[in-house]
Amino acid sequence: MKEELKSEYRRWMRKQKWSPATIRHAMTFLDYLEKKGLDWENITLDSAEDFLLSQEEKGIKHQTLNGWIKQINRWFKFRGITPLIKYYPHEDTRRKIYIPDEKVKEILELKWGDIIDTRRNRAILYVLFSTGIRVSELVSLNIEDINFQLGFLTVQRGKGGKKRTVPLPSSTLKVLREYLKVRQETDPHALFTSSQGRMWDTTVRRIVKEAGERVGVPWLHPHAARHWRARKLLKEGVGINVVAEIMGHSDIKTTLIYLRPSEIEMEEDMRVKDTFFEKEVKV
């Protein structure tokens, strides 16, 4: 019965036009829930809420639990269970999204254990920061999705199943060429591979987190790179419609979110430009 349910769930997600990486993550999460003690086959609203409460009491952070709720609600929608579980309130994470340019440079210059890991991880970081693509889109990339001659990559199935092309800077193309010389051929198509085959998004997240920890940004995650790129393009004068297209936003209002200043930017800007209270008033 469980395997039949899994097959139905997989087909349902495909009809929603979700990316292969999203589907893989959702299927893996079912097994993860089972290991944690939740019977996803016979799940109810009450049993799910009891499970989340028990995990909260064990010290699991709300941010992590919200990720679990997202997956549980996705399963609820598939099974026709209502109402959905409410998310824990989000803290203002603008401070944790802001990355100074000098930190990004440090991240891109990092070296790893050997030449294979260094070139692969560096290529991953260059693609994330220079294109702003989602981590699910990155792990779904195939070698043929990179057009070295014209200088762009193609996201075959972005959010909502949409296809788009994203320009690649010459520096990123150079790093990708160097990476392909040492790429592990454990998957005939995947751009980014490990010794086990196509790389998983969890591995990419781990690489990004480690990179952040090594340069003093321990909270770093792939979506922060997406924020950095969108904000960088907007601040450098790239049209908002162009940025929306690059980011794969169907609604320009989503792109406008990236124009919202971070707490650190507000503090720095005020210190420089608030000449009255910061410079003229003497206490």
Considering the candidates 120, 227, 231, 249, report the single residue annotated as catalytic: 249
To 5 degrees, how large is the angle CA 24–CA 26–CA 28? 70
Number of structural domains the chain divides into: 2
pLDDT of residue 36: 82
Do residues 143 and 197 share a domain?
A: yes
pLDDT digits (tens, 9 = 90+) for 95-129: 456 788 999 999 999 999 899 999 999 999 999 99
DSSP per-residue codes, 137-203:
HHHT-BGGGEETTTTEEEESS-GGG--EEEE--HHHHHHHHHHHTT---SSSSBSSEETTEEPPHHH
DSSP E strand boundaries for the chain? 146-147, 152-155, 164-167, 193-194, 197-198
What global pTM score does this model have? Answer: 0.67
pLDDT digits (tens, 9 = 90+) for 254-266: 787 777 665 555 5
> Is residue 24 flagged as an active site residue?
no
Do residues 143 and 57 share a domain?
A: no
Considering the candidates 159, 183, 198, 227, report the single residue annotated as catalytic: 159
> Is residue 223 flagged as an active site residue?
yes
In the listed set 52, 79, 106, which residue is the last one of a domain according to the structure? 79
Do residues 125 and 165 share a domain?
A: yes
> Is residue 198 flagged as an active site residue?
no
Structural domain boundaries, residue 122: 95-263
CATH of residue 7: 1.10.150.130
Residue 281 lies in a domain: no
Do residues 62 and 129 share a domain?
A: no
Residue 283 lies in a domain: no
Considering the candidates 25, 120, 122, 134, report the single residue annotated as catalytic: 134
Residue 231 lies in a domain: yes
> Is residue 32 flagged as an active site residue?
no
Do residues 64 and 170 share a domain?
A: no
> Is residue 90 flagged as an active site residue?
no
Do residues 42 and 100 share a domain?
A: no
Considering the candidates 120, 164, 226, 231, report the single residue annotated as catalytic: 226
